[in-house]
Chains A and B, each alone.
Chain A
């Protein structure tokens, strides 16, 4: 009889041990930042492949310093560079450093654009840096950032 009750108890404990990780992962899921969650470091590494990103005045970012409504924040990025087949801006990446998924847009340009420009409107969950990374045809990465203070978050 003793042995039986011991086994029962053991079985219950084992079941608990198996069930617990499930509970934990469900809790994590609730905290996650949506289906495409990615943090800033991972996103930058995915763009650059580990290369250095240099802050440069060539990249100009226009974003408001204070955005009353985080749901619609206008962002404009211009890169001062010729757009010829020899030297051009390959891509402009726009990142919101503290959104659940920091990636906003990857714009792959060609010399046919005539000018490296991208304008859009993004959602910001709170006060954070908006970062633009420009990939040049010579393989270097230039960046610019602007801190945007958000009064009402745009992700709720």
Chain B
């Protein structure tokens, strides 16, 4: 599972409210689609939990379902308290889990 974290805007100060965009490359199968050749149902495969941590403190926890689009995007706000590490942990219903981190470096 490939992931991407983007902080918007690029330049921010401590105390600013920024947007965190988290994207994951994931098929997000609903379990309702059929294989066109065999007619067999494609089993459900979707991200079901995403946790945003800043310096190991939980900021936001998401419980999500298969209704999110393929390669889902999740965007939240975050008030930058200072420098630190932002960690995003995403887990899917098959138990596959991925951790991605980015550094929060406020200017000024």
User: Do residues B67 and A101 form an inter-chain contact, with CB atoms below 8 A?
Assistant: yes
Q: Which residue of A lies closest to B28 (CB)?
A: A123
> A99 at interface (Cβ–Cβ under 8 A)?
yes
For residue B67, which residues in chain A have a CB less than 8 angstroms away from its CB?
Answer: 96, 99, 101-105, 122-123
Identify the interface centre among A76, A102, A110, A121: most chain B CB within 10 Å of its CB: A121
- For residue A83, CB closer than 8 A to chain B, the reply is yes
Known: A100-B32, A105-B63, A155-B32. A72 touches B69 (CB 8 A): yes
Of the stretches A6-14, A30-38, A51-59, the one at the interface is A30-38
A34 with B17, Cβ < 8 A, contacts A113-B77, A121-B72 known: no
Size range of the chain B interface in the assembly: 20 to 34
Q: Is the CB of A123 within 8 A of B69?
A: yes
Partner of B73, one of A110, A121, A156: A121
Bound form: Cα–Cα A90–B27 in Å = 29
Task: For B60, give its contact among A96, A108, A155 (CB under 8 Å).
Answer: A108
In whole angstroms, how far apart are the Cα atoms of A102 and B65 in the complex? Answer: 9
* B13-38 interface (Cβ within 8 A of A): 17, 19, 21, 28, 30-33
A46 to B82, CA, bound (A): 37
Residues of A within 8 A of B54 (CB): 112
Once the chains bind, are A121 and B68 in contact (CB under 8 Å)?
A: yes
Q: Which residues of A contact B60 (CB under 8 A)?
A: 107-110, 113
Contacts of A104 in B (CB 8 A): 64-65, 67-68
Q: Which residues of A contact B70 (CB under 8 A)?
A: 71-72
A76–B74 CA distance with the chains assembled, in angstroms: 10
By a CB distance below 8 angstroms, the chain A residues around B69 are 71-73, 120-123, 154
B68 near A123: Cβ-Cβ < 8 Å? yes
Q: Which residues of B contact A123 (CB under 8 A)?
A: 28, 30, 66-69
Given contacts A107-B62, A112-B81, contact A122 B76 (CB under 8 A): no
Distance A102 CA – B67 CA, assembled complex (angstroms): 8
Q: How far is the CA of A73 from the CA of B17 in the complex (A)?
A: 25
Q: Is B83 an interface residue (CB 8 A)?
A: no
- CB-defined contacts of B63 to chain A, threshold 8 Å: 105-106, 108
Could you tell me the distance in whole angstroms from the C-beta of A97 to the nearest C-beta in chain B?
A: 11
Q: Any chain B CB within 8 A of the CB of A119?
A: yes
Interface residues of A (CB under 8 A from B): 33-36, 71-73, 76, 83, 96, 99-110, 112-123, 154-156
Listed from nearest, the 3 A-B pairs whose CB atoms lie closest are A114-B79, A119-B75, A115-B77
